[in-house]
């Protein structure tokens, strides 16, 4: 997703320098004459705004505070935007530690998947100082269609975790309906028509169910990443004493999916687990 988002920033006319831990992933940018940095430090030295999009909080910490991290290229006015998904607590931790170097911070996770990243139609949820958000808002508008200022640092991550709760439980519901339909001999195309045109309609039904019907489990969003997001949601709800049994169940099912070696498949691979539990041989 990060590469597509960076390309949209370039297309919007912003000067750009890129870095990736896997250098081959920067080749499309180099071919366009876009400079490729050798480290996050170099990106920071040559930028007013640093955006990082990585897998999890430890990766964010390495990019920001590692040996050649962003903080070593700090200069007055630098803004760091974390567009990864982790947790409100991590966002506050990153903001506090960056402030020691005079760096402003926004947490700005996204939803909309690989399609939204390519098309520049992501929904972006932003936490941090309002004046910093307003200063960099045109950059967000290059990547997303719906930009939401969520308030204080951490609120962007909180909104994203709430989104992931619904995403996960919605996938569980679709997988359960499809497993029962398969066992009961219901035509899957007819089930799709009912779900996609009635009260059960959702992005999961529209986008993922056709893939599930074809046995296409390649990732638009990886199962292991949803497991990680739901883990952060459960950690947060435990601190706030809010019971979320549906989220807890969904996390355990994705734990099982990852344990079966399917973590790098798309979230829709949950159907494979349901078919196995129901004794359905789908080839």
- How far apart, in whole angstroms, are the C-alpha atoms of residue 159 and residue 127? 9
Domain ends where: 94, 126, 152?
Answer: 152
Confidence of residue 281 (pLDDT cuts 50, 70, 90): confident
Which residues carry out catalysis? 160
The answer, yes or no, to whether residue 137 has pLDDT greater than 90, is yes
- Clarify whether residues 197 and 241 are in a common domain: yes
282 within domain boundaries:
no
- How far apart, in whole angstroms, are the C-alpha atoms of residue 195 and residue 191? 6
Tracing tokens 């004459």 back to the chain, one arrives at 33
The CATH number that applies at residue 90 is 3.40.50.720
- Clarify whether residues 176 and 239 are in a common domain: yes
pLDDT digits (tens, 9 = 90+) for 86-132: 999 999 999 999 999 999 999 999 999 888 999 999 999 999 999 99
- Clarify whether residues 101 and 175 are in a common domain: no
The mean-pLDDT minimum among 9-13, 60-64, 112-116, 202-206 falls in 112-116
pLDDT digits (tens, 9 = 90+) for 213-242: 999 999 989 999 999 999 999 999 999 999
> What's the pTM value of the predicted model, to 2 decimals?
0.94
HSE-up (13 A, CA, CB side) for residue 18: 26
Nearest Cα to Cα of residue 44 among 65, 21, 23, 59: 65
- Clarify whether residues 117 and 199 are in a common domain: no
- Clarify whether residues 8 and 127 are in a common domain: yes
- pLDDT at site 114: 85
Nearest Cα to Cα of residue 225 among 281, 134, 164, 278: 164
Length of the chain: 283
Q: Which two tokens stand for residue 31?
A: 């071919």
- Clarify whether residues 132 and 167 are in a common domain: no
Largest Cα span, the chain: 65
- pLDDT at site 113: 84
Domain ends where: 152, 179, 205?
Answer: 152
283 within domain boundaries:
no
Ramachandran angles phi, psi of 190, nearest 5°: -70, -40
Domain ends where: 101, 117, 152?
Answer: 152
Nearest Cα to Cα of residue 81 among 110, 116, 58: 110
- Clarify whether residues 139 and 256 are in a common domain: no
* Overall domain count for the chain: 2
- pLDDT at site 280: 94
- Clarify whether residues 63 and 186 are in a common domain: no
- pLDDT at site 282: 76
171 within domain boundaries:
yes
Which residues have a Cβ under 8 Å from the Cβ of 67 and sit 6 or more positions away?
none
206 within domain boundaries:
yes
219 within domain boundaries:
yes
Q: Which two tokens stand for residue 12?
A: 């919007």
- How far apart, in whole angstroms, are the C-alpha atoms of residue 244 and residue 272? 25
176 within domain boundaries:
yes
138 within domain boundaries:
yes
pLDDT digits (tens, 9 = 90+) for 252-272: 999 999 999 999 999 999 999
Report CA-CA distances (Å) from 80 to 28, 133, 175, 237: 24, 11, 39, 27
In angstroms and rounded to an integer, the radius of gyration of the C-alpha atoms of the chain is 20
267 within domain boundaries:
yes
- Clarify whether residues 147 and 185 are in a common domain: no
- Clarify whether residues 62 and 177 are in a common domain: no
- Clarify whether residues 213 and 138 are in a common domain: no
The boundaries of the domain holding residue 193 are 158-277
- Clarify whether residues 128 and 84 are in a common domain: yes
The CATH number that applies at residue 167 is 1.10.1040.10
The mean pLDDT of 182-191, rounded to a whole number, is 98
């Amino acid at each position: 997703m990060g590469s597509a988002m960076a390309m949209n920033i370039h297309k919007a006319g912003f000067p750009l320098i890129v870095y990736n831990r896997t250098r081959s992933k920067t080749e499309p940018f180099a071919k366009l004459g876009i400079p490729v940095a050798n480290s996050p430090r170099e990106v920071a030295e040559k930028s007013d705004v640093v955006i990082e999009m990585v897998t999890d909080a430890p990766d964010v910490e390495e990019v920001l505070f590692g040996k050649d991290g962003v903080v070593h290229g700090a200069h007055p006015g630098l803004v760091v935007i974390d567009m990864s998904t982790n947790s409100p607590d991590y966002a506050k931790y990153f903001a506090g530690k960056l402030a020691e170097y005079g760096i402003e911070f926004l947490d700005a996770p996204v939803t909309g998947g690989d399609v939204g990243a390519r098309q520049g139609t992501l929904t972006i949820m932003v936490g941090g100082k309002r004046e910093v958000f307003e200063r960099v808002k045109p950059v967000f508008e290059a990547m997303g269609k719906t930009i939401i200022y969520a308030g204080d640092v951490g609120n962007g991550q909180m909104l994203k975790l709430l989104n992931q709760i619904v995403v996960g439980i919605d996938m569980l519901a679709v997988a359960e309906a499809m497993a029962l339909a398969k066992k009961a001999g219901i035509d899957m195309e007819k089930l799709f028509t009912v779900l996609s045109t009635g009260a059960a309609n959702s992005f999961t039904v529209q986008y993922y169910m056709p893939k599930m019907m074809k046995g296409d489990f390649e990732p638009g969003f990886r199962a292991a990443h949803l497991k990680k997001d739901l883990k952060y949601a459960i950690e947060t709800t435990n601190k706030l004493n809010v019971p979320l049994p549906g989220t807890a169940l969904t996390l355990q099912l994705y734990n099982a999916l990852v344990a079966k070696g399917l973590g790098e498949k798309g979230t829709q691979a949950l159907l494979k687990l349901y078919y196995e539990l129901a004794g359905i041989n789908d080839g």
